[in-house]
Structure 1
Amino acid sequence: MARRKKIYEGKAKVLYEGPEPGTLVQYFKDDATAFNAEKKDVIDGKGVLNNRLSEFFMTGLMNIGVPTHFIKRLNMREQLVRQVEIIPLEVIVRNFAAGSISKRLGLEEGTPLPRPIVEYSYKDDALGDPLVPEEYIIAFGWASQQDLDDIVALALRVNDFMSGVMHGVGIKLVDFKIEIGRIWDNDFMRLVVADEISPDSCRLWDVETGKKLDKDVFRRDLGNLTDAYTEVARRLGVLPANSAHPKPTLIN
């Protein structure tokens, strides 16, 4: 597929104009960032893995009736997606204490939470993506109360699906974040899961050992990030059990 006009470039992906109106090509980079991009590196093959894993999760969600922006994978690094209006929030679902909630509340990492907790952070790198309450979201017009009700319902359905899939391959879904976008069909607006779902946006721990299989490997210098992501892909059947690291190639 010929390269088209660049629409947007983020820390981990690039969006290009799609082949048809209302579509985009989402390209997965090998760049890894942490601590609001204070820590950076290029991890060979990371983009290939995240492309395949996000395809796996988005397709699974659509199969159970959860709407997403995903249309199809184009090659090893690119997906065709529907163009959406992104709501400027990161929607965080937590099943166990880890990361910032452990620091804020003094909870030991790994502590089971009484129920899945949904939090929101305002998408602004310059501000460090601060946590915001629903009152702020409604007051500033980022989303309506009905939107938030629908977002929580979507997030919890994603959590049910992801938790079950991961548990089936011996992985604990500690937490994850998603983005939600608006799509209009004529005058009808609906909310869909957008961006990506991958080990970049989840905390994944081995059920038996507690070994981290997510971006905390990079954040905390715990080993090779590609090895961790490859292990997730192998367990889910996205890669053959005996495959080597995927190389950064654009072939199908």
Structure 2
Amino acid sequence: MTPKFNRIILKLSGEALAGEKGFGIDPEIVKVMAEEVKAVHDLGVEVAIIVGGGNIWRGVTGEKMGMERAQADYMGMLATVMNALGLQDTLENVGVPTRVQTSIEMRQIAEPYIRRRAIRHLEKGRVVIFAGGTGNPYFSTDTTAALRAAEINAEVILMAKNNVDGVYNRDPREDDTATMYNELTHLEIISKGLQVMDSTASSLSMDNNIPLVVFNLNRPGNIKRVVLGENIGTKVRGK
């Protein structure tokens, strides 16, 4: 039961919090996620979480509706804050000390993002949830995960996917002949055009030699299995 990683970034999509509802936050789903995070935290692993906002709002959706992209993206950042607060409450209800840090200041509900403070929280055994994306429009929460991983010296990014076991050459939900990769590099992800992270996030991860594990969030215990080094999902090498 010795963890392979001591400090991780866990990337959760906003859609994962919605469950089968497809919109909003499903309290039962969030509770299951909190229990999974607790199991990893109890191993002594330092856990930071990036959560998306797609269950509430997507900037690209607003742009398609005719909104200015920057304005739509700021709305998406606020959606991630809502998800982070919901996740924080549930984590603390299961006994996990938690801090939320936002890249856009809103001191009444969360700390502003300060790198050294975030690292100190992790060292003290608190789960840190980074909300608000990078604080800038045109950047995804995937890019936030890569940026924060580099800043806090995380050993790996765990990319938790909904009902997808890893990285495939084609969408397995649309093509039964799709095959899963066991191992890739960030450069291969970019050159093959695989939909894992956006190109900015992949480039940032590659430049900073940050490995990635893509796995199925919906299989109970998978987060812990990845942290313990079990061979599940797709491993993406930093170089």
Specify if TM > 0.5: no
Between structures 1 and 2, the one with greater strand share: 1
TM-score (norm 2): 0.28
TM-score (norm 1): 0.27
